[in-house]
Structure 1
Amino acid sequence: MSTFTALAAAAIFAASIPAASAAAPIVGNWRTASGETAKISACGKAYCTTILTGEHKGKRIGQMSGSGSSYAGRITDPANGRTYEGTAEVDGNSLKLTGCALKIFCRSQSWTRQ
């Protein structure tokens, strides 16, 4: 097999892999600390978080950007409407979110992938 044929075969194989396998680790449905389900999905060049269940169903509460296991952006507490700058770290089926007010008053919570 020539080098050209081998490269062409590799390109065809790579193109046949479904796009879903390239999804960012943060994409998916997550059980929040308060028990609701939140969906994180791509929205433009960022990732948006929307509440799917409970009292705040349908509310978009966050937008983050990043890749791999580290993300940063803003998240809004749907109960009080306050927005916080924060980070999110994905570790397998866990998502640790840390939000800060004035960059010194910070709180963290963990979500679990559903």
Structure 2
Amino acid sequence: MKQMIATLAVSLGLAGAALAADPAEGTWKTQPDDGSYAHVAIAPCGSAVCGTIARTFNDSGEYKSPNLGKTLVIDMVPQGGGAYEGQVWRPSNNKIYIGKMDLNGDSLRLRGCVAGGLICSKQTWTRVK
């Protein structure tokens, strides 16, 4: 009986951990890039998280960008302590970079790098409530 209770407790604990949302999940507002910014929806994609462009904005307000629905944050794998590693796509030049993310509360710092990390571009996103 004790073994059955212990097995049940472990099983429930593992199920709860599997259902726990990644802290980076949610909607994030990017910094402006070439005069436009986006809301990016970050959600699980396998054992990583990915971010898809959900809404786009410019000086005139919300508009329908041809980039809607495209993946901007690609296979970011949690490294622990709020750090992630994967790739990022920059729509303004249509290039994919080695990417890193650092989550700190409602702030998400992204870096896209080339040349082995020698040249990087950075943005800090804020969580949309």
Runs of 4+ in 1 over 4 A off after TM superposition: 6-20
Deviation of the 1:99 alpha carbon: 1.1
Quick one: structure 1 residues 105 and 11, their matched pair in 2 at CA, closer, same or farther if it must change by over 3 Å?
A: closer
Question: Shift of residue 62 of structure 1?
Answer: 2.2
Instruction: Give me the TM-score of the superposition, normalised by structure 1.
Output: 0.80
What percentage of residue pairs aligned between the two structures are identical? Answer: 33
Residue equivalent to 1:49:
51
SS of match in other structure, 2:55:
coil
Could you state the TM-score of these two structures normalised by the residue count of structure 2? 0.71
Decide which structure has greater strand share. Answer: 2
Q: 1:37 to 1:24 in 2, by over 3 A?
A: same
Give the 5 Å matches for 1:65-104: 65-68=77-80, 69-102=82-115, 103-104=117-118
RMSD: 2.4
SS of equivalent to 1:53: strand
Q: For the residues of structure 2 that align with 1:41 and 1:82, how far apart are their CA atoms?
A: 22
Give the residue type in structure 2 aligned to 1:83.
I
- Structure 2 CA distance for partners of 1:74 and 1:83, relative to 1, 3 Å: same
Match of 2:73 among 62, 76, 89: 62
- Is the CA contact 2:79–2:85 (under 8 Å) kept in the aligned structure 1? no
- Please give the alpha-carbon distance, in whole angstroms, between the structure 2 residues aligned to 1:12 and 1:61: 35
**Residue ranges of structure 2 left out of the alignment (5+ in a row):** 57-64
Alignment check: 8 A CA contact 1:24 1:67 kept:
no
Q: Tell me which amino acid in the other structure corresponds to 2:69.
A: G
Structure 1: runs of 5+ lacking an equivalent = none
The equivalent of 1:40 in structure 2 is 42
| d(CA) in 2 for partners of 1:108, 1:97 | 6
